[in-house]
Amino acid sequence: KISRQLNYIIVTSLQRMPSNNNNKRAALPSNEETLSLLLPESKSPRSTMRVADPISVPLGGGDGSAVDALAATTASKTLTLPEETGIAVKNNNSSHGNSSNIADTTRTATTLQYSSTRSGSNLGSHNKNNNNNNNNTSIYFQNNPSPRSPSVAQLRLNEKLSLLSGQTMWLLPPLRRFDVPSIRLADGPHGVRKPVREYSLQRSHPATCFPTAAALACSWDPALVRSVGKALRHECVHHEVSCLLGPGMNLKRHACGGRNFEYFSEDPYLTGELAAAYIQGVQGSGQVAACVKHFAVNNQESHRFVVCATVDERTLRELYLRHFERVIKDKTNPPLAVMCAYNKVNGQYCSEHDYLNVQILRHEWGYDGVLMSDWGAVNDRVAGLRTQLDLEMPGSYGAHHREIRRALDSGELTEAEIDTSAQRVLNLIERVRVVVDDNNNNKDASRSGNNSTRSKRTTATSTTMEEDVSGSSAHAQSTALLSSNNRLSWPVQHDIAKKTAMECAVLLRNKDNFLPLNSNNVQSVAVIGEFGKSFPRFQGGGSSHVQSEWVRAAYDEVFRFCDNVSFASGYEEDDEDTEQVNTELLQEAIDVAKEAQFVLLCVGLPEIMESEGFDRPHMKMPAQHNALVTEVCKVNSNVIVVLSNGGAVEMPWVDQPKAIFESYLLGEAGGAAIVDLVFGTQSPSGKLSESFPLQLSDVLADQNFPGSRDRVEYREGLDVGYRYFDSANQPVLFPFGHGLTYTTFSYVELEIEVLQDETHSKRVKVSIGLSNTGKFPAKEVIQCYVRDVTATVHRPFQELRAFEKVFLHPGETTKVVLQLEFEAFAFYDVGVKDWIVEPGDFEIRIGSSSRDVRQTQVVELTTGQFASTEAQQSYPPRPVGSIVKLDDDTFSKRFRGSLGKINQCITPLHDNFHRNSLLKEVSASSSIGSFLLWVVFKGSVADIKPGPSFKRDRKLMEAAVRNLPLRAIVLFGKGSISFELMDALIFFMNGLYSSAMAGLLVACTPFRRKAKKPSPEQVVYEAVPVEP
């Protein structure tokens, strides 16, 4: 079929061309002598559906035909075809063989290039198996356009609708009429999670587990993060994944956020810079799309499907959107997809939020990529399409298509709005088609290995480790390089994970330069704690859980430096009790510690205490873990504590150990990385990307976290993380940016030069000398904070505006240059609805952390724009050291001149259930609700097998299921239940039996498309306040 289609296109194009001798149309050969398009042999017909698959075309028939005439000379010729043909031909006779780079052809593929060095053979004698035939030319499908790449105008309505929803849990639908294949999405962000079964959360194909975002951010190294993104891209191609759901970019508003381990930082600037590097790595070759998430203000797991975040516009802009803006407006490589969040923001669900999705994302930031829903996040599909939510995930199996058709019939929705979203999804599919080597017979071969040994792994076919390219031809360039000889090396991926982990670990405390240990002086080491041997804590729970089969535990790695290694479990792996202590296990650990010269004490937060689906209720570690540190330090003075946790914890014993490492969740090679750092193979260089408060009550946002079922108020405003602690002079356990090395650094000669000072354009050059004054080669992160000294509105005491990671040998000195531009001095003025810089004095503060500032200097900016009255009234200035009031009056003033009103998240009180009622709510007072909860829970835990993780896996699923809204049952039901049937069940639960029976008839009729949408008075839909 493809052969006939291409034959027709080329012949038709040639008919339109004049001959070389006159303006008459060229004569064509007979049917037997026309271009014979011979598809290459393949073990799978799937290979013919891929971008850049060559189709051999012998040129010239020796009979004076048009083709022969055009190929009559030995010089290279170019045959121009109409642009709509979408065909490019490249001669295969170059000295580079048949893998010639097809980047020479234009993106629109309007050119046929060939060399006419003929051997005298005629068209009919072409041998399809002869790759050395001088007349052999390759035709490549190009991205835009091609016979398999239709425009949305060519699609039927049902084809357009299919593009607006996933085909399954992880696949986007194909367009079979145009041979457009399906593409696969997969969870990230620190590993590729390709489930073994569609709905399996625990079982997935083996992949490398890199450090989670919480750990990765502590590297403060965009180049390192870019390399991790590139490694993830290679595994995506190996697993045939075209879109990786990452990075997670939400801010750490509160230390107890359940998914904090998936997020970078409490600071939007640091988050934005690292996320941009991650995206560049993933999308570098054009083969894989990155999908940033979750847009926006998604900072908790409690009631995440229905909770409404009430936030003023300045806080929204400066904290919760700034990092998204950074990556969306990246001119080099913006993300190809954005995922909306579950929650509401100021009264509207993110999946249908006109202000966020249309006014800001599309219009203000100019984003034209795909906006997709989080899984099950769609509340009203028609409203989502009107606010340019292009893609709903997972596939709803037509459940929303009926509502869309009804909206089209009534005029509530136009087909032009559907066309816009369908075209974006089509563009994404065309952009990221992955070329797969069909000769690979072991695509999903397991990665061999265990916790204690370096085992040889099975290699699998993937992309070449090509250099990153950008631009419209990136996909064609990378796919042209694919070969069955290029393989993905699992050991190389693992080494990348280890090197990354070593850059991320943070040395919090090193009393009297206790570390590094000299292996020549180490006689015995005790490893205490299950995290150090049998149950390494290296990743978080939930959708990001990676199936890693080469996890290296600290206990096994210590043998590389010491032969005498003992062990005590210390605690049970799922012990989450914050009150009770197991005295038997504690005594065993004390006895082992007494006999050892050094103790490596591995404690932290068990996975059962922090995961997607629920928030932590406190910052405490289990009582057993705290008791271990206290009691072991009493019997051994050489204790090194290694913390494994996804977020900040309280440390009542902080002054007792000689050294403390914060490892967060370092991935599969975390154990090896920590041991290497302890023994001085490399100096630690990680810096905290979040503040560690002394106790939970010190966190200002804790007064409004996690809020109620329907509403969480961001009353703390800008006072999040170090912005609050430094402005209020609040003592902390460890400050933002803190991290020690095995050497010392000197900061000297701060120089500042104003290069540009205009109202809307600023450029300031900051130079600082840095010297390694110690005895160990190491890296230092220079952090640049800016303080507005003369502001007429409240501004945080200081804000991170630039940073640079520098490696120096002992005695080496370098000069580091940082650039500060308009954004470094600006704040968002709610009165003028824009970013402004007030003229005045700004203090440039250079340091090793937010509390370790080494050099300061004031610079004056003489031009700018003074704050509006609305800005001054909503955030009046306050002295350093004062505590902000969180009363109603203060909070309501911040909404003056801002988006929405303070009461937009107030949900009308009623006793009836609706589509957004949670399963835990309906199960408490309805037998139907109890039955639904039982059915959904049973289905969710079907894949959970008995074993060490059984308890925590069930806890995760129970929390997730209980907090599901009723509408999500339809979205996850794979077509087994419709919205019409769910509405009928809701009527039953509300005691409206006549309406329920009528609903059942509607649900069972084949004419559901004509059924009317229930009115709000029937209390099926949740009442939502209307924005003014």
DSSP string, 160-221: HHHHTB-SSSSBPPPBGGGTBPP-BEEE-SSS-B-BSSTT-SS-B-----PPPHHHHGGG--
Q: Among 651, 601, 689, which residue's Cα sits nearest to residue 272?
A: 689
Please determine, for residue 606, whether its predicted confidence score (pLDDT) is greater than 50: yes
Q: Residue 603: pLDDT above 60?
A: yes
pLDDT score of 473 more than 70: no
The larger pLDDT score, comparing residue 168 to residue 16, is at 168
pLDDT range class, residue 544, cuts 50, 70, 90: confident
pLDDT at 928 over 60: yes
- Taking only the tens place, the pLDDT of each residue in 741-789 is 999 999 999 999 999 999 999 999 999 999 999 999 999 999 999 999 9
CA distance 691 to 670: 22
Band the pLDDT of 973: cuts 50, 70, 90.
Answer: confident
Look at residue 535 and give its three-state secondary structure: coil
| β pairing state of 525-528 and 565-568 | parallel
Res 96: pLDDT? 37
Predicted pLDDT of residue 6: 53
User: Is residue 265 a contact partner of residue 689, using CB atoms and an 8 Å limit?
Assistant: yes
**For residue 36, is pLDDT > 90?**
no
Q: Are the CB atoms for 793 and 875 separated by under 8 Å?
A: yes
pLDDT-based confidence at residue 66 (cuts at 50, 70, 90): very low
Helices within 777-887 (DSSP H only): 822-825, 869-874
> Does 10 have pLDDT greater than 70?
no
Written as one letter, the residue type at 899 is: L
Place of tokens 């306050």: 878
Give per-residue pLDDT as tens, 313-350.
999 999 999 999 999 999 899 999 999 999 999 999 99
Per-residue pLDDT band at 2 (split at 50, 70, 90): low
Question: Which pLDDT does position 198 carry in this prediction?
Answer: 77
Is the predicted pLDDT of residue 100 greater than 50, yes or no? no
Structural element, H or E, at residue 749 = strand 745-758
Three-class DSSP category at 627: helix
Q: Which amino acid is at 292?
A: V
H-helix or E-strand spanning residue 323: helix 322-328
Q: At what angle do helices 927-940 and 950-962 cross, to 10 degrees?
A: 140
pLDDT digits (tens, 9 = 90+) for 976-1007: 888 989 999 999 999 999 999 998 888 887 54
Query: What three-state secondary structure class fits 781?
Result: strand
Residue 903 has a pLDDT of: 60
Q: How many Cβ atoms from other residues are within 10 Å of residue 379's Cβ?
A: 25
pLDDT at res. 46: 31
Query: Is the pLDDT confidence value at 557 over 80?
Result: yes
In angstroms, rounded to a whole number, what is the distance separating the alpha carbons of residues 1001 and 575?
51
Tokens 């908790």 sit at which residue? 300
Residue 379 CA to residue 52 CA, distance in Å, equals 40
From residue 723, alpha-carbon distances to 694, 699, 799, 857 in Å are 16, 11, 7, 20
Cα 727 to Cα 716: distance, rounded to the nearest angstrom = 13
Q: Average pLDDT for residues 232-254, to the nearest whole number?
A: 96
pLDDT in tens, 658-686: 999 999 999 999 999 999 999 999 999 99
- Of the candidates 63, 179, 205, 174, the residue with the CA atom closest to the CA atom of residue 124: 63
Which region among 176-180, 307-311, 690-694, 854-858 has the lowest average model confidence (pLDDT)?
Answer: 176-180
Both structure tokens of 507: 């040395």
Q: What is the pLDDT of residue 826?
A: 98
pLDDT of residue 33 exceeding 50, the answer is no
- The values of phi and psi at residue 494, to 5°, are -65, -40
Integer CA distances (angstroms), 706 to 210, 257, 309, 734, 958, in order: 29, 9, 10, 24, 19
**Mean pLDDT computed over 517-542:** 95
pLDDT of 204:
87
Do 57 and 40 form a contact (C-beta atoms < 8 A)?
A: no
CA 807 to chain centre: 28
Q: What is the mean pLDDT of residues 803-823?
A: 98
- Tokens 């986007």 belong to 172
pLDDT exceeds cutoff 90 at 65 = no
Q: Is residue 357 scored above 60 in pLDDT?
A: yes
What is the dihedral angle through the alpha carbons of 155, 156, 158, 162, rounded to the nearest 10 degrees? 0
Distance CA 519, CA 525 (A): 11
- pLDDT score at 955: 87
- On the question of pLDDT at 38 being above 90, the answer is no
Tell me which amino acid residue 906 is. Answer: I
Q: Tell how many helices (H) and how many strands (E) occur in the chain.
A: 27, 31
Cβ-Cβ contacts under 8 Å for 406 (sequence gap 6 or more): 1009, 1010, 1011, 1012, 1013
Q: What is the pLDDT of residue 901?
A: 55
- Measured CA to CA in angstroms, residue 288 lies from 222, 242, 282, 429, 479 at distances of 19, 5, 6, 10, 12
Q: Give me the pLDDT at residue 98, please.
A: 37
Question: Which residue did the predictor score with more confidence, 272 or 128?
Answer: 272
Nearest to 351 by CA among 392, 315, 312: 392
SS3 readout for 835-861: EECCCEEEEEEEEEECCEEEEEEEEEE
Tell me what the mean pLDDT of segment 254-258 comes to. 96
Please give the average per-residue pLDDT across 581-603, as a whole number.
97
**Residue 528 predicted with pLDDT over 80:** yes
> What's the burial of 74, exposed, middle or buried (CB within 10 Å: 0-12/13-18/19+)?
exposed
Mean pLDDT taken over the chain: 82
| Rounded Cα–Cα distance for residues 884 and 316 (Å) | 18
**112 vs 247: which has the higher pLDDT:** 247
Confidence band (pLDDT; 50, 70, 90) for 190? very high
The residues annotated as belonging to the active site are 374
Determine how many CB atoms are found less than 10 A away from the CB of residue 119.
9
Mean pLDDT of 906-912: 60
Helix (H, G, I), strand (E, B) or coil at 28: coil
Sheet containing strand 761-772, strands side by side: 745-758, 761-772, 813-821
Model confidence over 388-441: pLDDT tens digits?
Answer: 999 999 988 888 988 899 999 999 999 999 999 999 999 999 998 753 333 333
Quote the Cα angle for 114-116-117, to 5°.
130
> Is a pLDDT exceeding 80 seen at residue 551?
yes
Burial class of residue 920, CB neighbours in 10 A (0-12, 13-18, 19+): middle
pLDDT over 90 for what percent of the chain? 67
Residue 647's nearest CA partner among 190, 266, 987 is 266
Q: What is the pLDDT of residue 651?
A: 98
The CA-based angle 568-570-572, given to 5 degrees, is: 120
Give the pLDDT of residue 862: 97
Tell me the average pLDDT across 573-599: 96
- The Cα diameter of the chain in Å comes to 100
Higher pLDDT, 157 or 77: 157
Spell out the alpha helix ranges (H) of 894-1005: 919-925, 927-940, 950-962, 966-971, 979-989, 993-1004
CA dist., res. 462 & res. 465, Å (int) = 9
- The pLDDT score that the predictor gives to residue 3 is 54
Mean pLDDT of 709-725: 96
